[in-house]
Amino acid sequence: MRDVVEVLASDGFEGRGAGYEGEVRAALWIEERFRDLGLLPGMEASYRQPFSFLPTRPPAPGAVYRSQNLIGLVPGRDAQLAGEYVIVSAHFDGQGRVGQAEPGRHAALDGSRDDGIWNSANDNATGVAALLEVAREVVADPPRRSTLFIAFGAEEHACPGSTHFVTEPPIPLDSIHAVINLEQLGGWPGEPAIVSTTSTSPSWSGVLDVVGFTTGVSLRPSVPRIVADADHWPFAAAGVPAVTYGLRDTDTTHRATDEFSTVSFADLTARTEVLFELVRAVAEWDERFPFTGDLTRVTGLNTVQTTPLERLIAGVEDPSCGAFLVATVIPGTMAERLDFRVGDLVTHIDGVPLAANDWGIGLQYRALDAEAGARLECTLLRDGQRLSKVLLVGRGTDEPSDRSR
């Protein structure tokens, strides 16, 4: 795994900025690893699932970028369960370099001089390394259910890769038993991994108990709610049991100091050993995982931050105020039923102008925290027209409201 992180976090991949040459080179490298491991192509005759996406704060307003997911398959050994899938995923893009679209790059906390490349070692070359190592073990000894190993592109730009998979799935969504997404596995030495969004199925509790007994490591459930912060989210928003296995941000996250030298490889190895037991326990589980997440608080919107120039061109009255761009819409969610569209520019929530750095996560948390039946009014611009969309959250059913003005 050390070799994987060292390669992906090297300057030659230029921080793996989504939509740029460094990410393309990383995709080719990962594809070759899939082939070497003996994974079958997950897209008929190809590992690649290409997609387009709207980047966060691009240098050129209105730009549309291209990326791809890499999908490898290990068929299950049980003929009756091989048509059910466990997905193990990790995003392979990073923060990129100076001059590229800017998904969230920050200066180093220690005041050191940034070198212009955010190599993104812990976030998320470590996740890819763990994915490849687990794939090696699963190929050697397949579980009962089939396993898809997916390296998602462009996660740092509001998860368009995983959203594209959910929107145009190569397998039926209802055949997905569970999703285990991997994030930032090389930080916080000595701490066990966190498993987030466990509310998506009561089965997670039993699985974590089994893994804890098998490994002696007590995995910590955290953030049980469905939060739009990683590639598990589009699956959970679509009604698929999905968690992220990883750790919280470190003081190098999204900074140029997220380098190969800062990764704790002893911890990465230990967490990957536990991860293998988690994947196997899920794939061998006797019953299908039922979905129990609260979708009445899931907006279904993936959004990205905009630049002042983008806001000026779009017709925002005060470009110094914020506005976030709807990058993708999850099928079957409130956002789709209210006819939110890719390219909509949200400028106000409940009549209040957005802050300049708002990229939409505040709306997601307001939906999670609001009282049942609360109304969240989004004012947006679409093709020069001002519209209002009202989200009704925390209800068994929603009654879409769409008013033009």
- pLDDT score for 282: 98
Residues 280 and 321 in one domain: no
Query: In a 10 Å sphere around its CB, with 0-12 CB exposed, 13-18 middle and 19+ buried, how is residue 270 labelled?
Result: middle
Say if CB 42 and CB 170 are below 8 A apart: yes
pLDDT at 107: 83
In a 13 Å sphere around the CA of 4, the CA atoms on its Cβ side amount to 23
The domain spanning residue 351 has which CATH number?
A: 2.30.42.10
Spell out the residues 6+ positions from residue 392 whose beta carbon is closer than 8 angstroms to its own. 334, 373, 374, 375, 398, 399, 401
Contact 152, 127 (CB under 8 A): no
Q: Say how many CA atoms lie within 13 Å of 49 toward its Cβ.
A: 26
Rounded CA separation 212/232 (Å)? 22
Looking at the domain assignment, is residue 176 inside a domain?
yes
Whether residues 273 and 299 fall in one domain: no
Q: Is there a domain that residue 239 lies in?
A: yes
Residue with tokens 């989200």: 391
Token pair of 368 as six digits: 């999670």
Structure-block tokens of residue 348: 């106000």
Contact 288, 39 (CB under 8 A): no
- C-alpha dist (Å) from residue 136 to 104, 207, 218, 307, 319: 33, 22, 24, 43, 50
In this structure, are 220 and 366 located in the same domain?
no
Residues 324 and 245 in one domain: no
Tokens 């993708």 correspond to: 328
How high is the pLDDT of residue 70? 98
Q: Are strands 146-152 and 117-118 parallel, antiparallel or unpaired?
A: unpaired
Residues 91 and 240 in one domain: yes
Q: Report which residue type is found at 117.
A: I
Beta bridge partners of 390: 377, 401
Residues 279, 321, single domain; the answer is no
Residue 245 and residue 352 share a domain: no
Neighbours of 295 (CB within 10 A): 18
* 301 and 178 inside one domain: no
Domain assignment of residue 290, yes or no: no
Question: Is residue 32 assigned to a domain?
Answer: yes
pLDDT of residue 395: 63
Where a domain ends, among 226, 252, 284?
A: 284
What secondary structure, in 3-state letters, does the chain show? CHHHHHHHCCHHHHHHECCCHHHHHHHHHHHHHHHHHCCEECECCECEEEEEECCCCCCCCCCCEEEEEEEEEECCCCCCCCCCEEEEEEECCECEECCCCCCCCECCCCCCCCCCEECCHHHHHHHHHHHHHHHHHHHHCCCCCEEEEEEECCHHHCCHHHHHHHHCCCCCHHHEEEEEEEECCCCCCCCCCEEECHHHCCHHHHHHHHHHHHHCCCCEEECCCCCCCCCCHHHHHCCCCEEEEECCCCCCCCECCCCHHHCCHHHHHHHHHHHHHHHHHHHHCCCCCCCCCCHHHCCCEEEEECCHHHHHHHCCCCCCCECEEEEEECCCCHHHHCCCCCCCEEEEECCEEECCCCCCHHHHHHHHHCCCCEEEEEEEEECCEEEEEEEEECCCCCCCEEEEC
| Residue 258 covered by a domain | yes
Give the pLDDT of residue 359.
82
Domain carrying residue 317: 295-404
Tell which phi-psi region holds residue 161, choosing left (phi > 0), alpha (psi between -120 and 50) or beta. alpha
The tokens of 226 are what? 């469905």
Tell me which of 251, 284, 317 is where a domain ends.
284
pLDDT the model gives residue 401: 32
Are residue 50 and residue 186 in the same domain, yes or no? Answer: yes
Residue 398's pLDDT is what? 38
One domain for residues 336 and 196:
no
Residue 24: which CATH number?
Answer: 3.40.630.10
Residue among 212, 297, 289, 285 at smallest CA distance from 243:
289
Structure tokens at 218: 């007590």
Residues 303 and 353 in one domain: yes
d(CA 398, CA 13): 45
Give the pLDDT of the chain (405 residues) as one tens digit per residue: 999 999 999 999 999 999 999 999 999 999 999 999 999 999 989 999 999 999 999 999 999 999 999 999 999 999 999 999 999 999 999 999 999 999 988 888 877 766 799 999 999 999 999 999 999 999 999 999 999 999 999 999 999 999 999 999 999 999 999 999 999 999 989 999 999 999 999 999 999 999 999 999 999 888 788 988 899 999 999 999 999 999 988 888 889 999 999 999 999 999 999 999 999 999 999 999 999 999 999 999 999 999 999 999 999 988 889 999 999 999 999 999 999 999 999 999 999 999 988 888 888 888 988 888 899 999 999 999 999 999 999 864 433 333 232
pLDDT score at 405: 28
* Interhelix angle 265-284/203-215, nearest 10 degrees: 130
Domain boundary among 225, 256, 284: 284
Same domain, 110 and 20: yes
Chain position carrying tokens 């409130």: 334
Residue 175, in any domain of the structure:
yes
Residue 185 within a domain: yes
Asked if the structure places residue 289 within a domain, the reply is no
For the chain, what is the domain count?
2
